């Protein structure tokens, strides 16, 4: 509302997408023109804005300047306007140039999120140079907030052992906490007894958690994926040859 940009920082699963989605919904209700860019991993090489425009016409693709003009005109049609970029590390360079040029020309505040360090952005050739403005850092949940979230998800009071194990397995990452809770409930690893959720076994690893981890790994390029996979294999008793290379 003060036309200041904002910058949301947090690892994947901490809730940045949910936060920006709710912000967009609220701004829509208040009459804002909101242009939202979803920096999904599958779009990092495709060009979000250019791909969207290419789908509208079979003519030759418009120039970078014409795309900036088009976005600027859309924004200037309303005094209340904002740009939202979710997952800036996955946005291609062409789209970022369009966003920055149009935002500068129209004095439109940009709210963006990132889940990696600046050094990782540089290695991925992401160059975002506008003043970040207000910075909001999403932090892992502690025991008390984890207990509250688990109780809300289960619609009942969890035992201390359940909360402790959920926090230990999730490291307080919001999205992983929800995946764990949904998975253990679906797989019968917790049960409701006299108004309290109790563990039925020793662990909380479930098919739901496995799916959450696989989705996170799918975001990675081959090199960081192998860097994670090799140390993980070191927990196995077999002498995995690639491990010393990491």
Residue 236 has pLDDT above 80, yes or no: no
Nearest to 86 by CA among 114, 106, 59: 114
Model confidence pLDDT, tens digit, residues 7-44:
898 888 888 989 999 999 999 999 999 999 987 655 54
Q: What phi and psi, each to the nearest 5 degrees, are found at residue 81?
A: -150, 155
- CB 141 within 8 Å of CB 181: no
Structure confidence at residue 241 (pLDDT)? 46
Contacts 24+ apart (CB under 8 A), 45-53: 45/92, 46/92, 47/92, 47/94, 47/95, 48/91, 48/92, 48/95, 49/94, 49/95, 49/98, 49/99, 50/94, 50/95
Q: Which helix (H) or strand (E) holds 136?
A: strand 134-137
Neighbouring C-alpha atoms within 13 Å toward the C-beta of 136: 13
Model confidence pLDDT, tens digit, residues 181-221:
999 999 999 999 999 999 998 788 888 888 888 887 777 77
- CB 34 within 8 Å of CB 82: yes
Question: What are the angstrom distances between the C-alpha of 58 and each of 46, 53, 61, 69, 116?
Answer: 17, 10, 8, 20, 36
Model confidence pLDDT, tens digit, residues 86-129:
988 888 888 888 888 999 899 999 999 988 777 667 666 677 77
Identify the residue with better confidence: 160 or 240. 160
Residue 218 burial (10 A CB sphere; 0-12, 13-18, 19+): exposed
Residue 48 has pLDDT above 60, yes or no: no
Q: Give the integer Cα–Cα distance in Å for 78 and 30.
A: 12
Q: Give the integer Cα–Cα distance in Å for 140 and 236.
A: 29
Identify the residue with better confidence: 93 or 235. 93
| DSSP 3-state of 120 | helix
Structure confidence at residue 80 (pLDDT)? 94
Mean pLDDT, the chain, as a whole number?
81
Structure confidence at residue 239 (pLDDT)? 45
């Amino acid at each position: 509302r003060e036309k200041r940009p904002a910058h949301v920082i947090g690892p994947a699963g901490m809730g940045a997408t949910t936060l920006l989605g709710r912000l967009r919904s609220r701004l829509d209700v208040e009459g804002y023109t909101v242009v939202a860019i979803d920096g999904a991993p599958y779009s990092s090489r495709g060009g979000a804005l250019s791909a969207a425009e290419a789908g509208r016409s079979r003519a030759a693709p418009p120039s970078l300047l014409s795309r900036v003009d088009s976005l600027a005109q859309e924004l200037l049609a309303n005094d209340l306007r904002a740009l939202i970029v979710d997952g800036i590390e996955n946005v291609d360079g062409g789209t970022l140039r369009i966003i920055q040029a149009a935002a500068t020309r129209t004095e439109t505040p940009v709210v963006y999120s990132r889940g990696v360090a600046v050094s990782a952005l540089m290695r991925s050739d992401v160059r975002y140079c506008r003043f970040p403005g207000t910075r909001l850092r999403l932090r892992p949940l502690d025991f008390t907030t984890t207990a509250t979230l688990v109780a809300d998800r289960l619609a009942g009071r969890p035992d201390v052992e359940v909360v402790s194990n959920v926090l230990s397995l999730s490291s307080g990452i919001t999205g992983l906490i929800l995946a764990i809770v949904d998975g253990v409930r679906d797989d019968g690893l917790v049960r409701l007894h006299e108004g309290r959720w109790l563990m039925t076994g020793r662990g909380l690893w479930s098919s739901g958690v496995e799916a959450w981890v696989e989705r996170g790994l799918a975001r990675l390029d081959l090199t960081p994926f192998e860097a994670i996979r090799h140390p993980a294999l070191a927990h196995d008793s077999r002498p995995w040859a690639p491990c010393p290379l990491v």
